[in-house]
Structure 1
């Protein structure tokens, strides 16, 4: 995994810290003006609310937001009584934005997924898997999910005939500066990997508004740690 993952994470870092930062800053702050940005904001708001509804009470819990971006979701846990919230992201500019507009009650750090070794009760990781290939998934998911004792909430772009077509159309009209090596993953493939690692999908929901297409999974260990 090391070679492919390391090369890809550099590409992701360069993307979010480069020309695409202004675009994602607008999306993360809810200030997107064109149709695509508004649809991305709409989709992200919907999936974030679903995460909050599914997670439920978090009083006294430790939460990790892996791939937190500007901290939009991490900050929503602040008033819910979590004892500790940490947001990590590979992009220095996104973490700087999170710190500037945040409450000061979330710990933010520039960190890639495989370099985080803390222990938490709950993990959330929104739209991060899209940046990595299926070959990276077993090692990546094993490491990331091991951070959470109780449950995890992960979203990614599912591979379906329709979404593959939409991706091809979007790539053609958006230009290379607006995308990374975006990977769509079959839900069945992710489920198989999770089962092999000792996890089960307990809930899933699809979100689609043409521009934003993602599936949210609630993941729990088959044999929870005591």
Structure 2
């Protein structure tokens, strides 16, 4: 199926059964063992990125676009730390949940949450972040999306993706034989060298990297900055 069909599937999934599933995963309520493992892995990725931001000691000076923000797992702590955050997601339900969580913590105007897909994002930001979203894009569409996000980033683009390795390809193929009631959207893996090549073509150079690996969650994160 083409990229448009993938996008429609993602939107419908995260506005229906997927929203309830991922709301639990991104929350702190009771979940099953697989969901708990994914929750732990995702939080490790978020915590690693927050540590990067904090180490730079300039959060209060930054404008950040959290592209594919989900329920605000990253946007909210960034806003609490002083950054100005624009948060977007394709799922209306995810955005509404993010707003509610922010308001409950006393954050009214920051982050700014909007329902918007990655293709229509515009503006300029010091840093653009896109965590665990490229898994929904096949290779060609992922490359185009990275180029678009790079055009919005004045200084830095931070991405995470499911790395394409022999082991993970095998595990993915095994899993496809057992979709069951918890079948989600198609999951695309990407070779790191392909992602790096696209970033370099956009004038960005990888500075920091991290890998989060649990039993069911695998995410490679790259920080790429503009070369002077």
Could you tell me how far 1:220 is from its partner in structure 2? 1.1
Unaligned runs of 5+ in 1: none
Q: Secondary structure at the match of 1:77?
A: helix
Question: In structure 2, do the counterparts of structure 1 residues 32 and 124 end up closer, same or farther at CA, with 3 Å as the change threshold?
Answer: farther
TM-score (norm 1): 0.91
- Cα distance per residue 1:108-151 (max 9 Å; x no partner): 00000011102111111110001001111332111112212111
Matching residue of 2:93: 93
Asked if structure 2 preserves the Cα contact closer than 8 Å seen for 1:137 and 1:193, the reply is: no
Asked if structure 1 preserves the Cα contact closer than 8 Å seen for 2:161 and 2:221, the reply is: yes
- Cα distance per residue 1:77-99 (max 9 Å; x no partner): 122111x2111000011111111
Could you tell me how far 1:157 is from its partner in structure 2? 0.2
TM-score (norm 2): 0.91
Unaligned runs of 5+ in 2: none
Matching residue of 2:133: 128
Asked if structure 1 preserves the Cα contact closer than 8 Å seen for 2:68 and 2:130, the reply is: yes
Describe how 1:106-145 pairs up with structure 2 within 5 A. Answer: 106-145=111-150
- Cα distance per residue 1:15-48 (max 9 Å; x no partner): 1112222111101113251111100110011110
For these two proteins, the number of residue pairs brought into alignment is 220
Matches of 1:193 and 1:85 in 2, distance apart?
25
Matching residue of 1:44: 42
Q: Secondary structure at the match of 2:28?
A: coil
Matches of 2:33 and 2:176 in 1, distance apart?
16
Question: In structure 2, do the counterparts of structure 1 residues 13 and 176 end up closer, same or farther at CA, with 3 Å as the change threshold?
Answer: farther
Question: In structure 2, do the counterparts of structure 1 residues 177 and 34 end up closer, same or farther at CA, with 3 Å as the change threshold?
Answer: closer
Matches of 1:10 and 1:80 in 2, distance apart?
34
Could you tell me how far 1:166 is from its partner in structure 2? 2.1
Could you tell me how far 1:162 is from its partner in structure 2? 1.1
Could you tell me how far 1:174 is from its partner in structure 2? 4.1
Could you tell me how far 1:6 is from its partner in structure 2? 2.3
Q: CA RMSD in A?
A: 1.6
Where do 4+ consecutive residues of structure 1 move more than 2 Å? 3-7, 168-178
Asked if structure 1 preserves the Cα contact closer than 8 Å seen for 2:150 and 2:202, the reply is: no
Matches of 2:34 and 2:175 in 1, distance apart?
10
Asked if structure 2 preserves the Cα contact closer than 8 Å seen for 1:89 and 1:111, the reply is: yes
Q: Secondary structure at the match of 1:215?
A: strand
Matching residue of 2:71: 70
Of 194, 203, 225, which residue of structure 1 is paired with 2:208? 203
Is the aligned partner of 1:160 residue 2:161? Answer: no
Of 217, 220, 225, which residue of structure 1 is paired with 2:222? 217
Asked if structure 1 preserves the Cα contact closer than 8 Å seen for 2:66 and 2:86, the reply is: yes
Matches of 2:116 and 2:76 in 1, distance apart?
18
